[in-house]
Structure 1
Amino acid sequence: MTRWRYPAIPEHEITPEPLYHHRRQFMKQAAGLAITAAALPTGLAAAAPQPSDQWRDALAQAPASQLSTDETLTDERTITSYNNFFEFGTRKRDPSDWGHYLQTDPWAIKVEGEVARPGLYDLNKLVRPDWLEERIYRLRCVEAWSMVIPWTGFQLSHLIEQLQPTSKAKYLVFETLYDPQQFPGQRRETLRWPYTEGLRMDEAMHPLTIMAVGLYGKPLPNQNGAPIRLVVPWKYGFKSIKSIVTLRFQEQQPVSSWQQMAPAEYGFYANVNPGVSHPRWSQATERRLGESGRRKTLMFNGYTEQVAGLYQGMDLEQFY
């Protein structure tokens, strides 16, 4: 095996020592990949790690997106205390009760598959502060409740363009960190871990699809998917996978975790559709948390004008 000799890799391009010493995550994600900034795409390598105070400033000062809804925000306490995050447990309060176990700094994301720039990346080198903006999106859960959430994040398409997927990449697969010591819910077989989700590449590249790193102008709380999660606002909430450590570009359609667990109830597309009922309850109405009564569920969660074209000619009862 060829060994690099100084000065083949400049000191400033070597993986930060704290990332190396975070061994559990390192060993599970590395899988033999070299971890150097030399593997980073041009532009990503130039993005220096952000000290925590600068990172907080970037989140607080992120501009508002024109793609935001103007609906009334759900209050922060509700958003951070009423969550589905089965890695912490199945009760809505489990994520906020147990979220302190999750260590999110340092954090690495493995990129693999049909892509020109595979590697194991320090999160700080993947997220550029100039990409950040605040997006106020509706969130619709398959359990028929909803919220309006002010995320801070960036278009996933920006990152995909930097990583340069090949022409064989038809789907993008995401995986959550697997670490039962930090995620007590993973000690039980509620799902087959790690949690896995996927998007078609045109869905992943859509301007509405974002990676969120903040909430209410602050770093993303652990119970809401820190340090980085997917947000796809026209799909049910379980598609918006949390605490992501793997991005895999592949040619075949993946099988997501809920598809694997209950294929008759959870499809790959998971588009919000009031006309297709869950086998155990209707999706025609929803309960907006903080409001009394119920409201009608909107097709594609109210984003029909922007995303309906992605599914032209598809039977949305078959491809649910």
Structure 2
Amino acid sequence: MLIKSSARLDGSDIPASEITPRGVFERRRQLLLAAGASAAGLAFGRRAFAANEPADSAKLAATPNPKFQVTDKPTSLKDITSYNNFYEFGTDKGDPVQNAHSLQTRPWTVSVEGEVHNPKTYAIDDLLKLAPLEERTYRLRCVEGWSMVIPWTGFSLAEIIKRAQPTGNAKYVQFISLADPKQMPGLSSNILDWPYSEGLRMDEAMHPLTLLTVGLYGQVLPKQDGAPVRIIVPWKYGFKSAKSIVKIRFVEKEPPTSWNKYAPNEYGFYSNVNPQVDHPRWSQATERRIGDDGFFSPKRPTLMFNGYGDQVASLYQGMDLKKFY
């Protein structure tokens, strides 16, 4: 059961070591998001982005899907690409843009395997041709309390699931990320059990909102944002959206997931955005929009299911969302 936090909603009394798991904090330098460092961290990230931005980013032809567009102002490309969680490249928010240049995204394959009638390994370029690419603007809410609004490019994960033809034993879908120490300096730490693993229940994976994502802002995914392919599940906290995926497995039992294994009382398997269920060490009732809400601006209320309740609440009918957090 989650323990209610006594921290004030403005976050002013949360120690820096509480903004991320204590083990991470103790192993690494203070996070850029800590009080008093946020503005400096964003400035650093922008400088890092400018230094690492590719000379020409490959464009993706995609059609905007009006069914999947929020009205919120999109976060700038610079903020999206310079303020990231991607622990394979470091724990600080500015580490991925500094270190992800070592990631090789070609050649790249994604293996679809497990409880399916049609297992297959897709080269990334073949994966891009499975369905017409769509532009969708989603909210992204991270468990630490920050959020963004991102124009993603991709198509519903259901397109791959239908082709895989899951057997009757397939109850869950597991996502495995690349784990290559030669390319990913963060793997030298023992923060998590590598490779990174995430999972969804089958009906969650089949939901039209669940996006197999290959780009943002009309171009291929930047390396620090999970290139060349990731999952986006917009009604869940950001760590559920696995990056740099190399395997999609269909399994009968609930798969182990990385952050749940690290701290099961803090990171549940479902991890639906829920302002009524606090993280044990801080409130989830409010959030700060990166690039929009200044550090000293009042936080905005967090929306149930990140604002996607009309589409996804029926998936959890009858479930105790404090128990299945």
TM bucket, shorter chain: 0.7 to 0.9
State the distance in 2 between where 1:156 and 1:124 align.
Answer: 16
Determine if the alignment matches structure 1 residue 225 to structure 2 residue 226: yes
Contact 1:65 1:133 in 2 (8 A): no
Shift of 1:56: 4.4
Distance in 2 (CA, whole Å) between partners of 1:233 and 1:72 is 16
Q: Tell me, yes or no, if structure 1 residue 187 matches structure 2 residue 188.
A: yes
The partner residue of 1:302 within 291, 301, 307 is 307
TM-score (norm 1): 0.81
Shift of 1:149: 0.3
Structure 1 gap ranges (5+): 1-54
Aligned residues of 2:131 and 2:155 also touching (Cα < 8 A)? no
2:316 maps to 1:311: yes
- 1:283 maps to a residue whose letter is Q
In the alignment, the residues of structure 1 paired with residue 134 and residue 324 of structure 2 have an alpha-carbon distance, to the nearest angstrom, of 32
> What is the rounded CA distance, in whole Å, between the counterparts of 2:62 and 2:168 in structure 1?
37
- Once the 2 structures are TM-superposed, how far is the Cα of residue 129 of structure 1 from its aligned partner? 6.6
What is the one-letter code of the residue matched to 1:170?
Answer: K
Asked if the contact 2:116/2:250 (under 8 Å) is kept, the reply is: yes
2:110 touches 2:124 (CA, 8 Å); kept in 1?
yes
Query: Could you give the per-residue CA deviations for residues 266-300 of structure 1, whole angstroms, max 9, x where no partner exists?
Result: 00000000010001100000001121321000000
SS at match of 1:161: helix
Cα distance in 1 for residues equivalent to 2:122 and 2:149: 31
Matches of residues 252-267 of structure 1 in structure 2 within 5 Å?
252-267=253-268
Q: TM-score, normalised by structure 2?
A: 0.80
- RMSD of Structure 2 on Structure 1 (CA): 1.3
Contact 1:116 1:166 in 2 (8 A): yes
**Residues 62 and 132, structure 2, Cα contact 8 Å, conserved in 1:** no
Q: Do 1:286 and 1:295's aligned partners in 2 also have CA atoms closer than 8 Å?
A: yes
Q: Which amino acid aligns with 1:216?
A: Y
Question: Which ranges in structure 2 are unaligned for 5 or more consecutive residues?
Answer: 1-56
Summarize deviations over 1:180-237 as a string: whole Å, max 9, x none: 1101001111100000000000000001000110010000000000000000000000
Q: CA separation in 2, counterparts of 1:195 and 1:86? A: 9
C-alpha displacement at 1:163, in angstroms? 1.2
Q: Which residue of 1 aligns with 2:107?
A: 106
Highest RCO, 1 vs 2 (Cα 8 Å, sep ≥ 6): 2
SS at match of 1:254: coil
Tell me if 1:93 matches 2:94.
yes
| Aligned residues with identical type, % of pairs | 60
Name the CA distance, whole Å, in 2 between partners of 1:161 and 1:210: 14
Please say if residues 180 and 187 of structure 2, whose CA atoms lie closer than 8 Å, have aligned partners that are also in contact.
yes
CA distance in 2, matches of 1:206, 1:130: 16
Q: CA deviation at 1:142?
A: 0.1
Residue 279 of structure 1 corresponds to 280
